[in-house]
Structure 1
């Protein structure tokens, strides 16, 4: 059976109140009952203490020394908190009793050898009775019993019990509907959030939940939903961007391949021409594959997965490994590589795959665009709160106008476009990976020296 949240809250509240109030009511009832018993018991103990000194015990009998005691009003008049007193021998035979007992007798338990108090009946009237053994020379000579009427107290306790039994279901009934009303008020903002979320779709992902700055769980829920929508929006934008970028990059080479193949089909060709065109097609396919791989990397770089797989990375070892990957190109251009030895002591706690992407693209560009027989330097500069890592090479300068655009996907520096082929995605990947790692990046290019500076906080 499905139960709404409002009814569930009301039900849980009723169960909680039912358990708590039942415990409170039981505590109230037994506290009143014990207090009533305690008051009567104190009266009985007081009377017992008084009367015990008026009793003479002998080997075969016991008796009251002052007979005038029976003339006291409390033993004669039933209307005034009557006390009933009776004296019996060790066999339970009545020896004396208070006049208000008339022809009635108190019940004695001859098997008990100690003083005790219990509830009893006297002609169907409730009484509270204390029984005290009377001893002579270590032997029980008789018993004295003193009882007080318990009827009024019993009526009060019964009335209290009836009242609690009436209040209990009323309390639960009121609690249920009060809880339901409160839950309606409490859940109303959640219903508004749900309605607002239902209005958001792929066509209006810019809409967000209104966050009420009150510091409660509703604010936390609203912020979490908005963050979730931000991630969805960002993912869809990346998907759209990837689709647009891929179509942009693949359209031209595919058209070239198609055109070349159509030309081949117009008339018979010799084997060499077929091979030449096939190699061109394969070259174009390799270019497209490379472009797609870079576009996929660019699409996947975001902060949503940056918190995974962090590790301590030695800067020198990582840079050295990447330079080894470009060893063939370095040797062919007779480049000199200088990695600052101080970097052996530089360690950062970041995602290695992202940092490798940054270094790989920057070093690839440095090797690609460096002048033959020039030097590529990697060094660091310490600051108060971190250090700069600088990758520097000699080669074609980047104009001031180009410096502001080089991190845009598919942007190509005019000087570089003439000397080297590319898609303009490498620095876009560097920029996005650096942003994901919270690394600031700065570029300078003057007097034939181009420097990329990365700042790492420590």
Structure 2
């Protein structure tokens, strides 16, 4: 398309310039001959009137105009130049008024010039067409050759994985212009490898170092709860509840930090969503206090995700509803849609816009701002669609479409 525009523009410019130059040149020739005729006619009379193969002149009175070729009869005085065709010839014609009520007509034969110009235009048009015909496959071939190393580099980059040590790209593209880009990618991958290694080390260390003290705390709490004097202890109950919440949060964060798409035996992960929902609701009953949690529908449903993923997602939704919702909470699992709705104070438009952002908190009793953020992370990983609907004083409804 670009080549066609360029060629068309060049051809149009050439034709315009050629026409302008030809017109100016012919007008100059006619004007020069007319000047000589006007100067010589008073002294030489009819001998001054040219009559050659290329130039024909006429000096007539108004009564003698019928002797002129028909195309010349309608021309007025002092015509600088006009192209007329008659008697199978093309002429550039000029006129000039003389004394004694006479008028001079001068016709310069440009038939040969017009023929050569037509041939030039034809050759130019044919050449332009040939250029266009050749430009498309030639341009495609050149582009394919030029883009080959770029496509190869793009393919290598697309196959790179942050966790895999691979051969450096610069070695494969050393003799190409894209070698600079390959070197830049190598430097970036080196930094990324270091980052991934640090993240893996942290995840492994955190998995051990954080779980161990929590296990000790929970074990100690269980021992203390066996003492009849401490069974109803408020501080001990809060410690037990906080330790379990911290264990769940650590498990969620470690799960999201790992990129595990299969079970240990290589099988695709799966779980029964209805069973997980029922288990999570039972686990959260100590937190319900005076609130009512109604499971209105619980259809059998198997999903392609590990159990921990749904525990994290649904657990955070239910915890949010218990913490910020009203007295009535409804849970449904039907048509692969998991819904948690409450009759609480609802959310404002601004709160809806930031609800899934990490660290966003609002309202009394706000937590760490991680609940809905973790739900969104899990949903994105397993292509679950999440919908949040809420209005002030009308409660909140969150729906997970399980893929």
Residue in 2 that maps onto 1:248:
208
Query: What RMSD in Å do the two structures reach over aligned CA positions?
Result: 4.2
Counterpart in the other structure of 1:75: 51
Q: Partner residue of 2:8?
A: 22
**Structure of larger gyration radius:** 1
**Offset at residue 115 of structure 1 (A):** 3.5
Q: Secondary structure at the match of 1:116?
A: coil
Partner of 1:42: 28
**TM-score scaled by length of structure 2:** 0.51
SS at match of 1:200: coil
- Return 233-242 or 17-26, whichever deviates more: 233-242
**1: CA distance, partners of 2:39 / 2:238:** 131
Structure 1, unmatched stretches of 5+, are 1-14, 57-63, 96-103, 300-458
Structure 2 partner of 1:135 = 99
Matched, 1:89 2:89: no
Give, in angstroms, the shift of residue 165 of structure 1: 1.5
| TM-superposition CA deviations, 1:311-345 (whole Å, max 9, x none) | xxxxxxxxxxxxxxxxxxxxxxxxxxxxxxxxxxx
Does the Cα contact within 8 Å between 2:58 and 2:106 map onto a contact in 1?
yes
Partner of residue 18 from structure 2, selected from 32, 35, 44: 32
Q: Of the two structures, which has the highest relative contact order with CA contacts closer than 8 Å and spacing of 6 or more?
A: 1
Mapping 1:203-242, distance limit 5 Å:
203-205=163-165, 207-210=167-170, 218=178, 221-222=181-182, 225-226=185-186, 229-230=189-190, 232-242=192-202
Map residues 221-370 of structure 1 onto 2, 5 A cutoff. Answer: 221-222=181-182, 225-226=185-186, 229-230=189-190, 232-257=192-217, 259-260=219-220, 269-271=227-229, 278=236, 285=243
**Residue 144 (structure 1) aligns with:** 104
Match of 1:185 among 135, 145, 152: 145
Using the alignment, how far apart are the partners of 2:166 and 2:232 within structure 1? 53
Match of 1:115 among 48, 66, 79: 79
- SS of 1:176's partner is helix
Correspondence 1:168 to 2:132? no
Q: 1:55 to 1:207 in 2, by over 3 A?
A: same
SS of the counterpart of 2:94? strand
Equivalenced residue count is 250
Q: Give the match's secondary structure for 2:135.
A: helix
Per-residue deviation, 1:240: 1.8
Q: Gaps spanning 5+ residues in structure 2: where?
A: 258-403
Deviation at 1:111, TM superposition (A): 6.3
Cα distance change of structure 1 residues 65 and 252 upon mapping to structure 2, 3 Å threshold: closer
Once the two structures are superposed, what CA deviation does each residue of 1:221-240 show, in whole Å capped at 9, x if it has no partner? 43564465456534533432
Q: In the alignment, is the contact (CA less than 8 A) between 1:125 and 1:149 conserved in 2?
A: yes
Matched-pair contact (CA < 8 Å) for 1:257–1:284:
no
SS in 1 for 2:146: helix
What residue in structure 1 maps to residue 387 of structure 2? none
* CA distance 1:273–1:68, shift in 2 (3 Å): closer
Distance 1:244 1:134 in 2: 111
For residues 273 and 123 of structure 1, what CA distance do their matches in structure 2 show? 127
Q: 1:145 to 1:93 in 2, by over 3 A?
A: same
TM-score for both structures, normalised by structure 1: 0.45
